[in-house]
């Protein structure tokens, strides 16, 4: 499984976006922040609510010079069918990565190897910096949906500390909030 600070693998995967299928090489995203949203599968119950949530905030991610990419073990053809059929997914404009072999899910540690959900992905959100290094992630049980707002907050915090060496962001930090300087007793507003 990928660890914090490690570089993401240079995989090339089929991807669906804007009514087109294409090959996406992960390392082609170098120079851009990335947020990967792994989910169990298309045509499910919680997954469309999460992708719809991310779609609503997609313009905010783009303002941060970040690309949002969803990932499941479905094929690119299933992504297209879901996009064509689901009112929630029709609005998704970010890339939808197809990982039917589970290569990407295994690399990120989300792949379910055994049990009733074998071959699916856990819900995982991964923030990757422009140098293609993993900066933050969360992973949890598939019955619990996540918040795109929290993913955006984590992205902004990661960007802030990358742009302000020596500063750290406390819990629930939002842009404009107080930050900390380790080793000093002062809390300054940036």
Residue written as token pair 């919680």: 46
Residue in 81, 70, 15, 78 with CA at minimum distance from that of residue 47: 70
Q: How far apart are CA 55 and CA 68, in angstroms?
A: 9
Residue written as token pair 């779609």: 55
Is 47 assigned a catalytic role? Answer: yes
The per-residue DSSP string of 11-35 comes to: -EEEEEETTEEEEEEGGGGTTSEEE
User: Given 47, 76, 89, 134, which residue is catalytic?
Assistant: 47
User: What sign for the dihedral angle of Cα 72, 73, 76, 79?
Assistant: negative
Question: 3-state DSSP: the chain helix, strand, coil percent, rounded to 5?
Answer: 30, 25, 45
Residue in 121, 43, 52, 46 with CA at minimum distance from that of residue 81: 43
As annotated, the active-site residues are 47
């Amino acid at each position: 499984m990928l660890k914090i600070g490690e570089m993401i693998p240079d995989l090339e995967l089929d991807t669906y976006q804007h009514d087109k299928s294409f090959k996406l090489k992960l390392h082609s995203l170098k120079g851009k922040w990335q947020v990967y949203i792994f989910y169990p599968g298309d045509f499910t119950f919680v997954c469309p609510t999460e992708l719809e949530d991310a779609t609503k905030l997609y313009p905010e991610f783009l303002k941060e010079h970040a690309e949002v990419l969803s990932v499941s073990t479905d094929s690119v053809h299933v992504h297209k069918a879901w996009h064509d059929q689901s009112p929630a997914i029709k609005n998704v404009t970010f890339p939808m990565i197809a990982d039917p072999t589970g290569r990407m899910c295994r690399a990120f540690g989300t792949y379910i190897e055994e049990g009733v959900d074998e071959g699916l992905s856990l819900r995982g959100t991964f923030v990757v910096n422009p140098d293609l290094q993993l900066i933050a992630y969360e992973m949890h049980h598939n019955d619990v949906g996540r918040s795109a707002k929290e993913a955006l907050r984590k992205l902004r915090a990661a960007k802030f500390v990358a742009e302000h060496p020596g500063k750290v962001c406390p819990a629930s930090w939002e842009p404009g909030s107080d930050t900390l300087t380790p080793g000093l007793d002062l809390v300054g507003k940036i």
